Structure 1
């Protein structure tokens, strides 16, 4: 997520020509888009981060169901 925020921030600064980012080539920003794409398509799957997030959400939902059931 920090990578996406950096890309959006750099794109906005470059578009509005603010500060030293005004002279930055658009190719650097497009390169960051490519890095983000590769990370989210392949990197997360390679390291199992996508499954871990899904497992954590399922575990959290299970714990909430159990706590609601036994609070009565």
Structure 2
């Protein structure tokens, strides 16, 4: 995501001819888009995306269970 945002910023700076980016070649300006594509390809290939999605689902499930336990009054009590 960061590569995509950087690419958009550099693209705007190049198009509007602002600062030193105006003198850069188009290959340099468009490079973050290529890096973003490589990152997404690697993330899908390595299972990183799926692992993060499973972690998020697990966290949502745990919060939902804790909310249900709290509503039923089944929270763990501290020993005295």
Q: TM-score, normalised by structure 2?
A: 0.75
Asked if 1 retains the 8 angstrom alpha-carbon contact of 2:14 and 2:21, the reply is yes
Q: Gaps spanning 5+ residues in structure 2: where?
A: 72-80
**Greater length-normalized contact order (CA 8 Å, ≥ 6 residues apart):** 2
Corresponding residue for 1:4? 4
Which residues in structure 2 correspond to 1:1-72 (within 5 Å)?
A: 1-40=1-40, 42-72=41-71
2: CA distance, partners of 1:29 / 1:55? 35
* Cα RMSD after superposing both structures: 1.4
Higher mean alpha-carbon deviation, 59-68 vs 26-35, is at 26-35
Give 1:19 deviation, angstroms: 0.8
